[in-house]
Structure 1
C-alpha cells in the first residue's frame, strides 16, 4: 500500500489475500451479471380484468366488483397457494386501502385458457381522501408473498391497473341514529354488528330526493322451523317485506322514493321481525336473555 495515498499497489496483498485492480475485477463482475440480465421473464399466469358497479362512490359506501382471471393458454400446473391482491391507490401510487382475499378456485384447479370469474362486495373505508383512485389487481403466494406475473397494465412490482374510482364525501344521510329496539354494538375480528329486538328504529336526515338503502343482515333461520321475515316501514307505510337467507347473510338493496321519505327533516325507518328469539330459552347453556330479532352488519343510505 502506498503510504501517501492509501492506494493499493498492483500485486500487493491485504491480510494475505491478493488484491486485484478494479479493471481486473470488472470483467468477472459483469460476466456474473450477464446471465441475470439475459434471463427470460417468466410467462404470465393469467390476464386480469375487473368491472365495478359504479364509477363514483362516497366514503362508507358499498361497491360490487366482478373480478376475472383468464388463465394463460400455456399455463403450467401449479400447487401454489395463491391469494388475490386488490389494492386501491391514490394518484401518486400510495396505498389507500387493500381488500386482499382468497381465490374462489385454487390455482391448482386452473386449466389452460380457463376463465375464473366471481363477484366480490366491499365497503369503502372512512379513509381521509377524496378524489381519483386506481384499482389494481395481482396474485401472490400465500406462503412467501412473491407476486405472480400477469398480462396487463403493470404499474410496478407485478401489480396491474384494472379500473379507477372517484371517491366522494360521505353524504349526510349516512350519519345514522340508532333509536329504540337496538342492542349495543358487538365485535369479532374485523366485523361489527348490532342486534335488533322485535322492532327497531334507525333515523337519518331526509335527502328530499330519491335514495338508495343498502343493508347486510342475518338472523336465525331455524326459529320456529321457518325463515324469519323482516319488514321495512316509514311511518304507516310498509316499504318491503322479505325472508332472510338460510345459512348466510342477506344483502338488501332498496330504492327509496322521495315520496316514501315524507316531508320531515328526519326520516325514521322501522325494521320489524316476525319471530324474534331469546338465546337462553333455546340453549340451556346460554345466559343471554335479550330478545333478538336480526343482526345488522351494515346499513347505508345515500341519495340517488
Structure 2
C-alpha cells in the first residue's frame, strides 16, 4: 500500500467513497469514473473506509455541492478557470469540462507524484501544479491573476481546511480576499469548532495520523480577514443522511450559529463592480 504523510493520507477516504459509495447511497451518487482504479492502484480495497457510512455519505453529498457550485460558475464564465486547492486524487474535470473551461489541480509534491503516475491531465486546458497552501506565496506559485479586473476564478478547497491551524485558514482566506479578481468564488468544507483536537473520535480519520485543528465558531470569522469577502451560501452536508442528522443538524445550527459540517461559499466583490 502506498504510504503518505498525515494529511495527504486522508485522500483515501473520499477516494473510497466515490469509488463505492454510489451503490450505498444512490440518491447522492456522483458517477466517478476514475476513483475505483485509483484506489486499487494505491493497494487499497476500500473496505476499512466503507465501514464509516456517514463519511461515505458526506463525501458524496459534498462532492455534489462542489460540482453544482463549479458548474454554476462556469455557466456564467464558460471559459473560466477552476483551481482545486489540495486536490488529492479527485478528478472534478471529468464533470466540469465544457470544452472551454480550464482546470488546475494542485497539491503537495508527494500527492502530485501519484497524480502524474496514474492520472494524466485531460488535455491542454488541464494542468497540475505543486502547492503548499501554508506558504505565503502560494497564490503567485499557482500563477493566478491578482488584478481586480482580471477574469474571475473558482477555487475549490475540499477536505483540507479542518487540518489547518486557525491562523493558516485565515491566511488562505485573506489571500483569496485580497488577491482574487472581483466575482471570484471560493468553496470549501469545514467541520465546526467542536471537532478541534478530536480526530480520534472520527471513525475514518482516526485511522490516519491527521488531526482536526480548526472549525468556524461563527460565520463572521469567515469574512473578517478582508473587506472584499462576502459569504454567498452555507450548505449543511449531513442533513440528508437521515435521523438523527436531519433533526440534530438544524438544531445545532440554531443554537451555535454554524452547522456541524458544511460547504461554505465565499465571493470577492468590489464597489466599482457592484
* TM-score between the two structures when normalised by the length of structure 1: 0.22
Give 1 or 2: higher helix fraction. 2
Q: Which of the pair has more CA radius of gyration?
A: 1
TM-score w.r.t. the length of structure 2 is: 0.24
